[in-house]
Amino acid sequence: MDNKRKKITVYLHPDMYPQDKLTESFIENIPSQMKGNFYRQSIICGAVLSTIDPRIINLLSDFFSQKVSIESVMKIIEEVTGYQSTSIDMERLEKIISEKNYPISESTISIDHQKESALQNLRKLKL
């Protein structure tokens, strides 16, 4: 039987980037038997978002904070893609996530500040 798995090694820099420190802390709280699946799902999610627009994962990782919200993530995606969602029921989505015990909190960064920062980052990227 052929083993067609692919091993991927990445490094976090918690001393350099606050989002890396938050990620490290988050990962430390995942049970050992679930970490591999979490890493796999995270990489797949990054690939999915990159197929929509490669800038999305950069912006989302830059804006990652302890107080990230669904609404702020949606606003970043809408700003980058130009797509304005009209069918997402935020209350229903938050209820689904809270039932799964995922943390939901308000963003510490205002939406206007996020939009301005996202636009500045987009100008720098010019992909």
Query: Looking at the predicted structure, is the pLDDT value of residue 110 above 70?
Result: no
What are the residue boundaries of the structural domains of the chain, listed by start? 18-125
User: What CA–CA distance (Å, rounded) separates 26 from 7?
Assistant: 22
Distance of CA 112 to the CA centre of its chain: 19
User: What CA–CA distance (Å, rounded) separates 115 from 7?
Assistant: 36
pLDDT digits (tens, 9 = 90+) for 49-106: 999 999 999 999 988 887 888 888 888 888 898 888 776 676 777 777 777 654 444 4
User: What CA–CA distance (Å, rounded) separates 40 from 38?
Assistant: 5
* Cα Rg, the chain, nearest whole Å: 16
pLDDT digits (tens, 9 = 90+) for 7-36: 999 999 999 999 999 999 999 999 999 999
Predicted local distance difference test score (pLDDT) of residue 46? 95
User: What CA–CA distance (Å, rounded) separates 59 from 121?
Assistant: 8
